[in-house]
Structure 1
C-alpha cells in the first residue's frame, strides 16, 4: 500500500480512503459492529459519502484498536475526574510523528527553524495529552536551548519573549492562558516589544476560565497584545493523529491525508453544500490502527478549499481542544 503521505489528487485520497475503510471494517471490531448496525454493505461503499463515520463518543466507552497490533501508548481527553474521558490508543508512534512533522512543515515551516514555547497549563497538569506529545516532539526536532514550557510563571515568559530579538519562535498556547498572560502584562504595565519573528498558535479552549468571545475578537486581542500579526490556530483532538492549521481568519487547511466533510446535523448520511453550516466529519488517514472516519460534535462549514469551525453542537461535552464559538 502506498503511504498516505504520497496522496496528491482527489482520486488518490478516495482510493486510500476506500482501502482504509475496508481494512478497518475487517480489523477493528467496534467499527465493524457499527457499520453492520447501520446495515451498510462494505462492498457497496464506493465513494466518501457512503462511508459510515464513527461517533466520537465511542472513544469514551470502547477501546478502538486494530486487532493485529499492540498499543501501549494512549492519549486521553481533558476533563474532570468525574467525567468519562476519551482514550485513543496509538499503535504506530512513527506514523503520528511523521504526521505532526509534515503538517507543521506544510503550513508553518520546518520545526528545526524555530524556538518552541508552550503556555499550556491545563495540559501540562494532566497525563497522556496528545497536545503535549506534539509540542514535545516539535521541541525535540528544534533542539533550541530556549525551548520550554510555562505554567503560571508569566514573568519568565515575558522576559524571554522580550529577549528573543530576531530569533524565530512559536508560542503554543491555550486561549485562556494566552489571555491570562496578556492580563498580567497589562496589570503590571509591562509592554512586549514588537516582534515579527514571533508566531502565536492558539489551540482553543476557554474551559470556563474566561468570558466567551468570537474567534475574531480573540485574534484581535492576541494580535494587539503580542504585537504580531502572526496569530495562527491549530485544530485537532485526542481522537486524531493529524492537525489542521489556520494562518488567520478562522480558516483551516488540512494536509493531503486529512479531509473535512460537513454532515447535516439531523441526518448523518446527508452532506451540506459549501458555505452551509453543519456538523464536522473528519477523515484522518493517519488513524490507520484506530478509526479514520470520525463524526465530531463540532459545527463548521466549508469555505473554498478551507473550513471554519463555528462552535459545538448543543448539549455536547466541551472538549479541551475545541475552539471558541465564532
Structure 2
C-alpha cells in the first residue's frame, strides 16, 4: 500500500486509494469502526471520498486510534497547557512518517542537501514526543550540512549564523515557532537574501496571539524577506502542507483538505466557503486517514487552502458523537 500512497499521480488514483484505505480502517480500527457504526456508515454504501466519515480529532486524546496490530515504533504527543489532556498518536511504522515528510519536503522545496537547516523550536525541544522535532531533526541530518542544527535560547548565536550563511549565499531554511521568531528579530534586524523563513504557528502562551497577516508583516520586515513560508501539520497526522507565502497552503499528492459545514459536520462545503477543516492523510494508513480537525478554513478550486481560525469551545462543538 505504501507504494500506492506515495505514487499518486491523479485525482482518480487518490480516490481509489482513499476508498481502499477507508475499507481497511473500517475493518481494522476499532475506534473508527465504532464511530462509523454510530453514523450508520458502511463501506458498501460509500463510493465517493466526500462521503467517508471523518473521525473527530479529539478521539486521539482518549483512545488508541490504530488500524494495525504491529508493535508501536513511536508515540507522538501534542503540546498542551499544564493539566490539559494531550493527544497521542501511536505510530507502528515510523518509516512511513519518514517517507511522508521527506517526499513532501522534496515535492515543494527540492533536494534537502541544498539547504542548511536551522531550527528555532524551543517549546517543542523542551518536551518529549514532538513529531515536528522528530521530522526537523531528521531533515537536519539529511541535509548533510555541518551548519545545520537546533537552537534553543541562544538567539545571538543564531543571528550571527544566519547573517554569516546568508553572506556566503548558502541556501538556508530557518524553521521556527512564531514567538521565537519574533524574539529573534527583536534582538537583530536582518537583511536576508538566501534564506527561507518558515513559521510553524503558535505563540504557545509566550505572547499574545495575533492574526497571520500581522505576524507575517512583522516577520517580513524583521528579516527583510518578501514572503513568510508556513508549515501545517499536527501530532495526529503523518503529512504536512506548506505555504510559500500569503497563508495559502498546498498539500502533497497523498493529502487533501475538505471543508465541512459548521452546523452539519457530515456535509462537505463547496470551495471558498469557510468551515471546519477535514484532513485526508493517506500516510496515516496504520492509524486513521480521515480526521475532522478543530481548525476553520476554506479551500480553493485548485486544491489549495487557508486557515482562518479555530472553533470556539472546540472540544464540544466538533461532533456530538464523542460518547463512544
Distance 2:12 2:4 in 1: 15
Q: Is residue 29 of structure 1 aligned with residue 11 of structure 2? A: no
Distance 1:41 1:106 in 2: 34
Alignment partner of 2:273 out of 254, 267, 276: 276
Q: Is residue 290 of structure 1 aligned with residue 293 of structure 2? A: no
Q: Is residue 312 of structure 1 aligned with residue 310 of structure 2? A: yes
Task: Give 1:93's aligned residue.
Answer: 94
Distance 1:86 1:108 in 2: 29
CA RMSD, aligned part only? 1.2
CA contact (8 A) 2:68 2:92 kept: no
Distance 1:209 1:80 in 2: 12
Q: Which runs of 4+ in 1 moved over 6 A?
A: none
| 3-state SS of paired residue (1:271) | coil
Q: Is residue 182 of structure 1 aligned with residue 185 of structure 2? A: yes
Deviation digits for residues 25-64 of structure 1 (CA, Å, limit 9, x no counterpart): 1111111111111111221111012101000000000011
Task: Give 2:7's aligned residue.
Answer: 6
Map of 1:124-139 to 2, 5 A cutoff?
A: 124-139=125-140
TM-score, structure 1 length as denominator?
Answer: 0.93
CA contact (8 A) 1:77 1:87 kept: yes
Aligned residues: 311
1:19 Cα deviation (Å)? 0.2
CA contact (8 A) 1:280 1:295 kept: yes
Distance 2:46 2:269 in 1: 20
1:162 Cα deviation (Å)? 1.2
Distance 1:6 1:183 in 2: 44
Instruction: List alignment gaps of at least 5 residues for structure 1.
Output: 186-190, 318-326
TM-score, structure 2 length as denominator?
Answer: 0.93
CA contact (8 A) 2:198 2:229 kept: yes
Map of 1:225-264 to 2, 5 A cutoff?
A: 225-264=222-261
Q: Is residue 196 of structure 1 aligned with residue 193 of structure 2? A: yes
Map of 1:44-55 to 2, 5 A cutoff?
A: 44-55=45-56
Task: Give 2:320's aligned residue.
Answer: none
Distance 1:156 1:67 in 2: 45
CA contact (8 A) 1:263 1:271 kept: yes
Distance 1:81 1:211 in 2: 18
CA contact (8 A) 1:76 1:87 kept: yes
Distance 1:299 1:230 in 2: 23
Distance 1:231 1:315 in 2: 30
| 3-state SS of paired residue (2:6) | helix
Map of 1:91-240 to 2, 5 A cutoff?
A: 91-164=92-165, 165=167, 166-185=169-188, 191-192=189-190, 194-240=191-237
Distance 2:130 2:236 in 1: 11
1:316 Cα deviation (Å)? 2.6
Instruction: List alignment gaps of at least 5 residues for structure 2.
Output: 316-324
| 3-state SS of paired residue (1:216) | helix
Deviation digits for residues 223-242 of structure 1 (CA, Å, limit 9, x no counterpart): 11112224200001000000
| 3-state SS of paired residue (2:242) | strand
Distance 1:127 1:208 in 2: 18
Distance 2:149 2:15 in 1: 40
Map of 1:63-74 to 2, 5 A cutoff?
A: 63-74=64-75
| 3-state SS of paired residue (1:3) | helix
Task: Give 2:81's aligned residue.
Answer: 80
